[in-house]
Amino acid sequence: MMKTEILKLLRESGDYISGQELCSKFGVSRTAVWKVMNQLKEEGYGIEAVKNKGYRLEITPDVLSSSELKSRIRNRWAGRDIYYYEETGSTNIDAKRLGEEGAAHGTVVVADKQNAGRGRRGRSWESPAGKDIYFTILLRPELAPDKVSGLTLVMALSVTEAVKGCCGQEAGIKWPNDVVLNGKKICGILTEMTMETDYIQHIVIGVGINVNLDAMPEEIAQTATSILLESGKKTARAELLQKVLERFEINYEIYEKDQDLSRMLEAYNGYLVNRDRQVRVLDPKGEFEGIARGINASGELLVETPDGKTAEVYAGEVSVRGIYGYV
């Protein structure tokens, strides 16, 4: 689309681009270029137009529109196709529907607001407009069904790396897949898979990141926070999402090739906030306590118990509670 291309040119040049240059590049009239500039202005972009110099991008609004995202993302497959909704029920449900309809591996659904955002364990996910990131990526992986839970850890790692790269904040991971800042949750991940007898038809990984929320709802204020509340700085949501998808494309390819987390262990364990800390494992077969030592290549949490043994805790079956507070 011409709008996306123009946005990309303006952002990448950082300087004036003449109307004439744009006209010849796209083979359109000056009026057509002028109309695109007006559309961009309506969407909140600050574009300066100077006679004999051309157009320059001065201000980018904090939006997640598909032209904003497409003008940034340079990945080979993660986010090549983007569906943006100003408002939707749940991006996970949208992505599953697109999966049924044959959408490509790496298709991303993103929303500014969700009316029925879903969390794990049947909980809901607060999804107000204009502040946070809600997105789902559709995957058609070459993976055995028992390798799918590892993908959630791959996403948690990618978000953590992106928060560091984009916001300069030292985020951590609460096993298996919550991203935390200063001990409070900033990101939740919900992975769902659609099976066909014995093979995976597709997987959707839904990610909610609390980015620019300036106050947490009271019910979750003890355990959840936002990047803004912790850093005092606003983050451009599109830039953060771009980074998450960049990191995910790289990490996913490693996971698919190795079929395990071996090459990501060091990075993941380096971010693990549970590491070397006391945890209580809420195992349906019997609760126990121990010291978390990190994950293994299958993504299981290694918990050293007082009798000197090491338990391998599988994410699907149990939940881990820190003895002190949230982590």
Give Cβ neighbours of residue 309 (< 8 Å, ≥ 6 apart).
none
Task: Give yes or no for residue 152 binding ligand BTN (CB under 6 A).
Answer: no
List 97, 123, 257, 263, residue binding ligand BTN (CB under 6 A) = 123
Interior angle at CA 260, CA 255 and CA 265, nearest 5 = 90
Q: What is the DSSP letter of 145?
A: G
3-state class percentages of the chain: helix first, strand second, coil last, to nearest 5 = 35, 25, 40
**β-pairing, 82-85 with 108-111?**
parallel
List 120, 277, 293, 321, residue binding ligand BTN (CB under 6 A) = 120
Q: Which of 114, 90, 97 is nearest to 202 (CA)?
A: 97
Taking the complex as a whole, how short is the minimal distance between the CB of residue 136 and ligand BTN, in angstroms?
Answer: 5
Identify which of residues 172 and 206 has a Cβ nearer to ligand BTN in the complex. Answer: 206
Q: Is 85 helix (H, G, I), strand (E, B) or coil?
A: strand
Identify which of residues 4 and 136 has a Cβ nearer to ligand BTN in the complex. Answer: 136
The interface mask with ligand BTN, positions 168-207, x = CB under 6 A, is --------------------xxx---------------xx
Task: Give yes or no for residue 97 binding ligand BTN (CB under 6 A).
Answer: no
Strands (E), 231-271: none
Identify which of residues 55 and 134 has a Cβ nearer to ligand BTN in the complex. Answer: 134
Task: Give yes or no for residue 107 binding ligand BTN (CB under 6 A).
Answer: no
Identify which of residues 168 and 217 has a Cβ nearer to ligand BTN in the complex. Answer: 217
| Helical ranges in the chain per DSSP H | 2-13, 19-26, 30-42, 66-70, 91-100, 148-167, 227-231, 237-258, 265-271
Identify which of residues 134 and 268 has a Cβ nearer to ligand BTN in the complex. Answer: 134
Task: Give yes or no for residue 117 binding ligand BTN (CB under 6 A).
Answer: yes
- Tokens for 34? 């002028």
Q: Which of 237, 287, 247 is nearest to 267 (CA)?
A: 247
Identify which of residues 137 and 292 has a Cβ nearer to ligand BTN in the complex. Answer: 137
Q: Are residues 205 and 139 in contact, defined by beta-carbon separation less than 8 angstroms?
A: yes
Taking the complex as a whole, how short is the minimal distance between the CB of residue 318 and ligand BTN, in angstroms?
Answer: 16
Taking the complex as a whole, how short is the minimal distance between the CB of residue 121 and ligand BTN, in angstroms?
Answer: 7
Taking the complex as a whole, how short is the minimal distance between the CB of residue 282 and ligand BTN, in angstroms?
Answer: 16
Identify which of residues 57 and 151 has a Cβ nearer to ligand BTN in the complex. Answer: 151
The interface mask with ligand BTN, positions 127-146, x = CB under 6 A, is -------xxx----------
List 172, 208, 290, 299, residue binding ligand BTN (CB under 6 A) = 208
Task: Give yes or no for residue 106 binding ligand BTN (CB under 6 A).
Answer: no
| Helical ranges in 103-197 per DSSP H | 148-167
Give me the residue label for tokens 């149990």. 318
Q: How many CB atoms lie within 10 A of CB 222?
A: 11
* End-to-end C-alpha distance for the chain, whole angstroms: 45
Q: Which residues bind ligand BTN (CB under 6 A)?
A: 90-92, 114, 117-120, 123, 125, 134-136, 188-190, 206-208
